[in-house]
Amino acid sequence: MHLSMWTYPWDVQDQGVEAISAELSGRAGVNTISIAASYHAGRFLQPRSPTQKAYFPEDGTVYFRPDETLWQDKTIRPLMAQNVTERGDMLDALIRARREGGLKVSAWTVCLHNTRLGMLHPGHVTRNAFGNPNYYNLCPSSPAARDYAITLVRDISGNYRPDMLELESPNFLGFAHEYHHEKDGVGLNAEDDFLLSLCFCAHCTARAEQAGVPIEGARRSVAGFIAEACERVLPEKQFADFPEAGIDAFRHHEDLRAFLAWRSEPVTSLLGEIKAAARPSTRILLLDGPNGWRGGVDLAAVGRLLDGMVLCCYNMQPEAIGAAIRDARIMLGAEAFLGLGLRLFYPEVDGPDILAARVKFAVEAGAEGVNFYNYGLVPAGRLDWVRAAVETLAPAH
């Protein structure tokens, strides 16, 4: 069974390749390390680090050495993090350790969630129905943004050859996405957030119009809904069966319904192009949650085009996780890999029993692996909880 721990390069640097590999395989009982190869900004409390208890990574950088021959003619180009220059290429170090019998390696790769690149290339970010930019989300309809994501995967898989490559954010992102000092005095509900996340940039408009989609009518509808939400004294749900009904929650608005039915096309076609560009020996997996349709993800297409996915079921009860895994399996098909993503954060996980129950329900529902989040963000003792959860699977696996 595939068992992995999401890990940052600075965690590996702080602990050392041999020490972290021994701890992950011995104490936690996992067989793979998922290391960030491309990442966004943040502020992390790092309980495992001996010196960096608070860490601010550079925004929108990559943690490998890009192959300049692949990038020289690209509009959007990666920036290698200073961390690599100053402390070494940990993706390369883990790949070398794997050759000597170490852990399998998965390259955890953030694709279109990149504020630094969005600020540099505002013509290639998603824009809401009023034309306002979401700088943190490069648009999957933009040819330059697509080329960036495709080349990122071609570079990593071709030059480093990890066992797996996990695609984070090759799709549309939500409006609320933990941007620096976000302010919302309205009290946006889930449907408001979704409507604000819908992209009507020039690239989406051109692509939709070419497909015969009434995008201007959809844009007017969405702009109206957003304006109404901003005028209400208190938030109010307008679509009774959102998000359970998916795009059918908007069935009484024909142009918007047609636009939402089309909206998975840029994401689906991008995933296909990414897979075609990847080295065949590297398995390509999508990272997403149970409501991935909100970002334009079509799980049936993922099952056809990629090697599978890791379904991130954070802060969900065991029974709900089992149901989500069963639903995802039906949509993905029988052949695609399906893994579960779990956080180790308190109070979401307050002891080993709840973690073991989440793993158990997922595996019984058809999950073929588990990824745990995140090595450097939790106290060392929680690795024992991972081991306890893994050991419950030993008799059957």
In a domain, residue 256? The reply is no
In a domain, residue 182? The reply is no
What pLDDT score was predicted for residue 182? 87
What pLDDT score was predicted for residue 155? 99
pLDDT tens track for 133-154:
999 999 999 999 999 999 999 9
What pLDDT score was predicted for residue 329? 98
What pLDDT score was predicted for residue 394? 63
> Angle 318-362-345 (CA atoms, 0-180°, nearest 5)?
55
The model carries a pTM of: 0.97
93-101 contacts, C-beta under 8 A, 24 or more apart: 93/12, 93/17, 94/12, 94/17, 94/21, 94/33, 94/35, 95/160, 95/161, 95/162, 97/17, 97/18, 97/21, 98/163
Mean pLDDT of the chain: 97
Contact between 302 and 311 (Cβ < 8 Å): no
What pLDDT score was predicted for residue 396? 45
In a domain, residue 218? The reply is no
Residues of the domain holding 80: 2-172+263-391
In a domain, residue 368? The reply is yes
In a domain, residue 274? The reply is yes
What pLDDT score was predicted for residue 395? 58
Domain count, the chain: 1
In a domain, residue 223? The reply is no
In a domain, residue 304? The reply is yes
Extended strands (E) in 156-218: 164-168
CB-based contacts of 345, cutoff 8 Å, min separation 6: 373, 377, 378
Residues lower than pLDDT 50 in the chain: 396-397
Extended strands (E) in 131-239: 133-138, 164-168
In a domain, residue 211? The reply is no
What pLDDT score was predicted for residue 372? 98
CATH at residue 130 = 3.20.20.80
